Structure 1
Amino acid sequence: MATIITAVSNIANFAINPVTLAGIVPLIAVGMTVFQYSTFDPESHPINVKQILPEYDFVIIGGGSAGAVVANRLSEMSNWTVLLLEAGGDENEISDIPALSGYTQLSDLDWKYQTAPPGDSPYCLAMVGDQCNWPRGKVLGGSSVLNAMIYVRGNRHDYDNWEKMGNTGWSWENVLPYFLKSEDNRNPYLAKTPYHSTGGYLTVQEPPWHTPLAVAFLQAGMELGYENRDVNGEKQTGFMISQGTIRRGSRCSTAKAFLRPIRLRQNLHIAMFAQVTKLMINPQTKRVYGVKFARNKRFHKVRARKEVILSAGAIGSPQILMLSGIGPADHLQELGIPVLSDLKVGHNLQDHVGLGGLTFIVNAPITFQKNRFQTLSVGLEYIMNERGPLTTQGVEGLAFVNTKYANKSIDWPDMQFHFAPSSINSDGEQIKKITALRDRDYNTVYKPLKDAETWTILPLLLRPKSSGWIRLQSTNPFQYPIINPNYFTHKEDIDIITEGIRIAHAISNTSAFQRFGSRPHRIPFPGCRNFEWDTDEYWECCIRHFTFTIYHPTSTCKMGPDTDPDAVVDPRLRVYGVSGLRVIDASIMPNIVSGNTNAPTIMIGEKGSDMIKEDWMNNYGNEQIR
């Protein structure tokens, strides 16, 4: 009973709206999820250490998708001491239930970042203040606790290009073993292939439940000439049922996968609610020897005998570097920060972006509607059998397709579809809050769909030409940096997304969807009514209004050889100009991968950990500053 009371209390702390609180099934499911763990899962939550030692061999900043992996792998060396500092707290019962993933955003588990208002190239115009929300995980497990659990590795050409750019050891052939090292695939037909493995820490599988529209999505792809295939296998172009980081019907975050099994290792300390404010660097030797952090309303210091590993993500890592004097000299000098290494930190910001709310209507009652699945029977199916609608990721199908701008001579599609058997109005007020959609646009365009059966495709641009930047607002470490994604500064990005929208309409027009009477939702955005529906100008207006990202920021601490003037870290992830410091997270990607970024970030954590072991075992830890 105490665990159920705790679960209900956690829901109250999330400040969910009264309509959601009226749904009894999530309450039951949350309480019983706690019961499930206590009964069936031998892994308890990680221990939040109270007393931090003055010195460790390694100090890791950030316990997210990469940091949790690094903490696990470095603490495998029993003679090394490791401290993991996480600004947030632990996961809770709500974040474990796949169908409730939206409720973690804008909660205490989220940094709640927002983009800066646009300049000459407008975006997010349908959002309050012309600013898109950018959720990032402020929790042990990082954004793997907030995301839709999609497991996609990217395209082999992404990694081969990284190596061609001078990043030795980062080709597809080199990184595939690290994807396999993490994975414990629980779908037998996938696990038996050369592209998947079993026995790793990270559970990967297809969700045990989906709507009839998921099958229609696969059939539609075949009608359009695409194969139904494992997009994490030999080839990427095609349609598939989503693979997810799911374990027994619940979320498998990196904290659950990599930290819970090792919670009793004596050489690993995990300190939650510990926000790093600055790196400690000797100005003469330029060696990083520790970090400063805030915890329990006090400032603290901890030293690192060997290295500090920065895994704070594509926003947090550049912010901490710049606060510490590592970054663009002109920007740091403007703020009065002494420059220790002049590097293009915060440049090269890349993200996957597309059109949100591309909605289609069907006649049959087969979509995922919240009121249909908030029933006692659905709750009991989840509790007793770890199955049913509450196990859904929301995104039931994925597709990688070629627009007319793609190079079809190689398997390197330029457009990704996320297929969802619901629409923005399936939980209207919550989605409106998450997207920051203006009342004007929501009430005009999506509120009329309140009782309709709808499905959605999110067309995502895989390799944008437009890139942005992150800069400090001040020297205050608690003030968020300026995030300017610079979406759509290259017209080609708009053109590719527009072609993706047309392919989405072609999917709706297939016989697979026409048997359900599928048709597009045609109410225009208020700001786009002066354009004729389905013209290029109309879709550009929509894209610039309902700009949508599934939160894949990368590349702000670019990896590259010492001949690359834009590089921040070398191919062994060591920061140029200082010693004793590496960056291991999504920020090191030279270019964003063609697909969801969580699995590649875990891979970076695996590979970066091996590099640290190799370097220290071969006495390279005291290398000279290059």
Structure 2
Amino acid sequence: MAEALLLFLLSYILQLQLEVLGLATSSNHDFSYMKSVYNATDLPLEDVYDYIIVGGGTAGCPLVATLSRKYSVLVVERGSAPVSYPQVLSAGGSGANLLQEDDGKTPAQRFVSEDGVPNVRGRILGGSSMINGGFFSRAHDQFYNQSGIDWEMDVVEKAYKWVEDSIVFRSNLSSFQSIFRKALLQAGVGPDNGFTLQHLVGTKSSGSTFDELGRRHGAVELLNRGVLKNLRVAVEAYVEKIIFSSSNNASRLSATGVVYTDSKGRTHRAYIRDKGEVILSAGAIGSPQLLLLSGIGSVDHLFSLRIPIVHTNPHVGNFMADNPRNGIDVVSPSALDPSIGQVVGITSDFNYIQAVSANLPFSFPQPFGLFPNSTSPLQLSVATIVEKFSGPKSTGSLRLLSSAEVKVSPAVRFNYFSEAVDLGRCVKGMRKIGDLLKTESLEKLKFEDLEGAEGFQFLGPSLPKNQSDDASMETFCRSTVTSYWHYHGGCLVGKVVDGDYRVKGTNSLRVVDGSTFNASPGTNPQATLMMIGRYTGLKILQERRAPK
């Protein structure tokens, strides 16, 4: 009974964490891009384009918009358009995305890694930018320095600005977020960096893709900045494989198109024109999965599934990593204003600490012994404080299952804390959360018992009493690990793609998404993913203009 109640409460917290701005309707969104959106069943069984983008997600949408300025572009997206999921369009309904039953048509696809940790993937036009918490913050400097890309930083800046001018907002801090911000500074997470989109050590508030009325403005709205007449978006379409040809270069296969199926099971073939490209932007799960399904990967793995080998590359699907999330849920004796994450503390060890708050109306006698004399309806206020750290050394892999079908999620293992250095970084992050609990700002979260003693009450696990004991802290980290939904890898730069995101050993094929990352950028990756979509589109246009 207690376990079932706890699961219910935790799920309810997750929903309310995203309901803080739920005052708006979707009526003020700009749906101009819908002029270019088609159900795949309404598209020709065969057609030709300059560029084919597999996946209209966080990186894919800005990439598509940029390329459509000069060329015809087909986007093949397995999910539907946001108008099919009204709950994603405002903060008030967003929690339902992660809680509703997965019937194969929801905007968030659930999967559980082989580590036993639940996770989700975006399955909607706009990708995970349509189901996340909206926090928008740029990448840290080390991301650029260690990414394997020769960045043109002036173009990076322009690409960020292009995104930020369109869909990023500055909102006033909620009461709890202001309290949390003070607690971070009191716990030594300084300096105070105020409001900034830059990644800086210390405490800051940052931008959001939710506007002041709670309307979500995800990557999908960046399509409006393209040339819609040059753009065709096929939704509810699954790419089965990439089509290759050796006619242009006998020593290297060229991608010439894709095969995709619509919701009625009909097969479509889309091809690219001369000088065009197929670009995978299907995410850290979808892109390596599609390369494997198309015959690019390990010989042993492909041979065991009877997939014809197009090009051998043992690195496809390897170096998968996820930022482990650990935290605590503190029950407040007084009502907290609900809030999503608006503030982040970035330590010198690159632990990232955020918090959310929620009120839980719930009627249950004597829940968890918090109120021993109470049998009346309760409203539990809960503050959730979590940490993650950048660039885990622990990595895993992605492998196709025996069915080898695109609609079947592959097996993924992240191997959380398999490297001792990661466990040590978690311990540092949780000790800093312990420091937060000692601050004056969080005194209001303490209960006072009948004898006048004060202390915190936790919903779920609490930090070990002796936080200087490494073994106890390590046990806490291992037993409470979950995902921050910032997984990456599978098509790493230097391993699977080169410094221009071209797939090694092929022509006319690139991967542009988080599968190319060796570390998740900054506190939250969506800002950088959108920047990279725009950046890569600009670079491709530049290449096409360059004289030979």
- Pairwise same-fold verdict (TM > 0.5): yes
Residue number among 247, 257, 262 corresponding to 1:295 in the alignment: 262
Aligned to 1:499: 428
One-letter identity of the residue aligned with 2:241: K
CA pair 180-59 structure 1, distance change in 2 beyond 3 A: same
Secondary structure class of the residue paired with 1:351: coil
One-letter identity of the residue aligned with 1:398: V
Contact 1:360–1:521 (Cα < 8 Å) also in 2 = yes
TM-score (norm 1): 0.73
Unaligned runs of 5+ in 1: 1-18, 119-130, 185-200, 369-391, 407-413, 430-442, 561-566, 621-626
Distance 1:151 1:445 in 2: 39
One-letter identity of the residue aligned with 1:51: L
| Residue 48 in structure 1 maps to residue 37 in structure 2 | yes
What is the CA deviation profile of residues 14-50 of structure 1, one whole-angstrom value per residue up to 9, with x for unaligned ones?
xxxxx99xx9xx9x968x614444xxx5746454322
After TM superposition, give the deviation of residue 464 of structure 1 in Å. Answer: 0.9
CA pair 133-283 structure 1, distance change in 2 beyond 3 A: farther
Residue number among 479, 484, 499 corresponding to 2:413 in the alignment: 484
Q: More displaced, 302-311 or 582-591?
A: 582-591
One-letter identity of the residue aligned with 2:79: G
Secondary structure class of the residue paired with 1:470: strand
Contact 1:205–1:244 (Cα < 8 Å) also in 2 = yes
Distance 1:555 1:445 in 2: 44
Aligned to 2:95: 102
Distance 1:445 1:313 in 2: 44
After TM superposition, give the deviation of residue 106 of structure 1 in Å. Answer: 5.1
| Residue 61 in structure 1 maps to residue 54 in structure 2 | yes
Distance 2:370 2:263 in 1: 43
Residue number among 249, 254, 261 corresponding to 2:219 in the alignment: 254
Secondary structure class of the residue paired with 1:88: coil
What is the CA deviation profile of residues 479-506 of structure 1, one whole-angstrom value per residue up to 9, with x for unaligned ones?
2101101111012212211221121121
| Residue 228 in structure 1 maps to residue 192 in structure 2 | yes
CA pair 105-619 structure 1, distance change in 2 beyond 3 A: farther
| Residue 604 in structure 1 maps to residue 532 in structure 2 | yes
One-letter identity of the residue aligned with 1:454: V
CA pair 512-532 structure 1, distance change in 2 beyond 3 A: closer
Aligned to 2:6: none
Contact 2:51–2:279 (Cα < 8 Å) also in 1 = yes
Matched positions, count: 496
After TM superposition, give the deviation of residue 450 of structure 1 in Å. Answer: 6.5
What is the CA deviation profile of residues 526-578 of structure 1, one whole-angstrom value per residue up to 9, with x for unaligned ones?
xx99x866443333333223222121111211112xxxxxx111111111111
| Residue 70 in structure 1 maps to residue 63 in structure 2 | yes
Contact 1:345–1:568 (Cα < 8 Å) also in 2 = yes
Aligned to 2:343: 397
After TM superposition, give the deviation of residue 174 of structure 1 in Å. Answer: 5.7
Distance 1:177 1:486 in 2: 37
One-letter identity of the residue aligned with 1:159: Y
CA pair 110-61 structure 1, distance change in 2 beyond 3 A: same
One-letter identity of the residue aligned with 2:72: T
Aligned to 1:282: 245
Aligned to 2:281: 311
Task: For 1:105-184, list aligned pairs within 5 A.
Answer: 105=98, 107=100, 108-116=106-114, 118=115, 131-162=116-147, 165=148, 167-169=149-151, 175-184=156-165
Distance 1:326 1:71 in 2: 24
Secondary structure class of the residue paired with 1:506: helix
Distance 1:446 1:150 in 2: 33
What is the CA deviation profile of residues 285-313 of structure 1, one whole-angstrom value per residue up to 9, with x for unaligned ones?
41110101110321211111111111000
Distance 1:42 1:478 in 2: 28
CA pair 244-427 structure 1, distance change in 2 beyond 3 A: farther
Contact 1:60–1:82 (Cα < 8 Å) also in 2 = yes
After TM superposition, give the deviation of residue 169 of structure 1 in Å. Answer: 2.4
After TM superposition, give the deviation of residue 324 of structure 1 in Å. Answer: 0.5
| Residue 617 in structure 1 maps to residue 545 in structure 2 | yes
Contact 2:81–2:235 (Cα < 8 Å) also in 1 = yes
Secondary structure class of the residue paired with 2:107: coil
Aligned to 2:477: 543
Distance 1:608 1:494 in 2: 35
Distance 2:474 2:117 in 1: 17
After TM superposition, give the deviation of residue 618 of structure 1 in Å. Answer: 2.6
Secondary structure class of the residue paired with 2:146: helix
Unaligned runs of 5+ in 2: 1-11, 101-105, 448-454
After TM superposition, give the deviation of residue 213 of structure 1 in Å. Answer: 2.0
Aligned to 2:295: 325
Contact 2:394–2:422 (Cα < 8 Å) also in 1 = yes
After TM superposition, give the deviation of residue 612 of structure 1 in Å. Answer: 1.6
Secondary structure class of the residue paired with 2:433: helix
Contact 1:524–1:533 (Cα < 8 Å) also in 2 = no
One-letter identity of the residue aligned with 1:422: A
What is the CA deviation profile of residues 294-335 of structure 1, one whole-angstrom value per residue up to 9, with x for unaligned ones?
103212111111111110001000000000011122221222
Distance 2:324 2:337 in 1: 25
Residue number among 374, 384, 387 corresponding to 1:459 in the alignment: 387
Residue number among 506, 511, 515 corresponding to 1:578 in the alignment: 506
Aligned to 1:419: 355
One-letter identity of the residue aligned with 2:303: Q
Distance 1:336 1:291 in 2: 20
After TM superposition, give the deviation of residue 454 of structure 1 in Å. Answer: 2.4
Contact 1:213–1:366 (Cα < 8 Å) also in 2 = yes
After TM superposition, give the deviation of residue 603 of structure 1 in Å. Answer: 1.2
| Residue 84 in structure 1 maps to residue 69 in structure 2 | no
Contact 2:331–2:457 (Cα < 8 Å) also in 1 = yes
Distance 1:428 1:398 in 2: 30
Secondary structure class of the residue paired with 2:317: coil
One-letter identity of the residue aligned with 1:473: L
After TM superposition, give the deviation of residue 243 of structure 1 in Å. Answer: 1.9
More strand by share: 2
After TM superposition, give the deviation of residue 83 of structure 1 in Å. Answer: 0.6
| Residue 349 in structure 1 maps to residue 320 in structure 2 | yes
One-letter identity of the residue aligned with 1:346: G
Task: For 1:238-253, list aligned pairs within 5 A.
Answer: 238-249=202-213, 250-253=215-218
Distance 2:465 2:31 in 1: 59
Distance 1:495 1:506 in 2: 17
After TM superposition, give the deviation of residue 67 of structure 1 in Å. Answer: 0.9
Aligned-residue sequence identity (percent) comes to 25
Distance 1:133 1:508 in 2: 28
Q: More displaced, 459-468 or 610-619?
A: 610-619
Distance 2:362 2:334 in 1: 20
One-letter identity of the residue aligned with 1:495: G
CA pair 487-428 structure 1, distance change in 2 beyond 3 A: farther
